[in-house]
Amino acid sequence: MAPTTIADRFDALQDAAANAKAGTLSPTDTAAALIAAADLVKALDLRAYPADDHDDTLEQVVVTVHGVDLSIRGRRHDLFVHIEDNRDNDERRQLPLTIEVNNGGEMTYGEHADDEPTGPALCDQCDDRPATDLELQLCAWCADYNERRGG
């Protein structure tokens, strides 16, 4: 039976790679594995773009999963991550886009994001990052900064 989920497709490719390394992958299975790899790239809508001459230092890689694009590229001063929700409005209402970065707490984006907040409050000091120290209502960066300053 052909794999149907992305996880199943990854598992099948990893099995084929293990068999290829062991020297037990037949030519027919090799062709099937290459086709499966191409199908997985297509299912993920995986694409890459070369670094531009202006700001990029690393190529841009984009993957689309469940109607959401995740784009990552290296720039001179940072690693830039862009998330673009391409789902239709009904899907967005049913499943809002909730994101967590570096275990900093979940933040929900979208039309009804404020209806039932799912993420932590913002830091009282910088009012920019999610508060991780719930007693002081500070983000990890501000809490660390205050501690280093003796505050």
Domain boundaries, the chain: 6-43, 120-151
Pick from 33-37, 94-98, 112-116, 140-144: least confident: 112-116
Q: State mean pLDDT over 35-39.
A: 87
3-state secondary structure the chain: CCCCCHHHHHHHHHHHHHHHHHCCCCHHHHHHHHHHHHHHHHHCCCEEECCCCCCECCCEEEEEECCEEEEEEEECCCEEEEEEECCCHHHHHHCCEEEECCCCCEEEECCCCCCCCCCCCECCCCCCCECCECCCCECHHHHHHHHHCCC
Better-predicted residue by pLDDT, 143 or 22:
22
At residue 124, does pLDDT exceed 80?
no
Average pLDDT for the chain: 81
pLDDT score recorded for residue 127: 66
Its pTM stands at: 0.62
Q: State mean pLDDT over 60-83.
A: 91
Better-predicted residue by pLDDT, 65 or 121:
65
